[in-house]
Amino acid sequence: MKVDTWLDERGHRCPLPVIALMRAAQQAPAGFVIAVLSDDPAARHDIPAWCRLKGHAYVGEEPPSDGGGGSSYIVEIRD
């Protein structure tokens, strides 16, 4: 899946990665794909929960493509 934008939130603790995702999602059209890079273990639960709450698609978790720490949480924005 092609990622449209990357949010590097490594070093930030929840809820900051979710807040960054929320702000990006407000500006994104349906179908836009956002990857949130986070090394906070809480993001593994908080980002999918936020997607369920807001009706967006949680695509999954991947290792970061830049080889850095943490994980990439992939979200597809829905209307």
Catalytic residue, candidates 3, 14, 16, 20:
14
51 is catalytic: no
HEC profile for 22-71?
Answer: HHHHHHCCCCCEEEEEECCCCHHHHHHHHHHHHCCEEEEEECCCCCCCCE
Which residues are known catalytic residues? Answer: 14
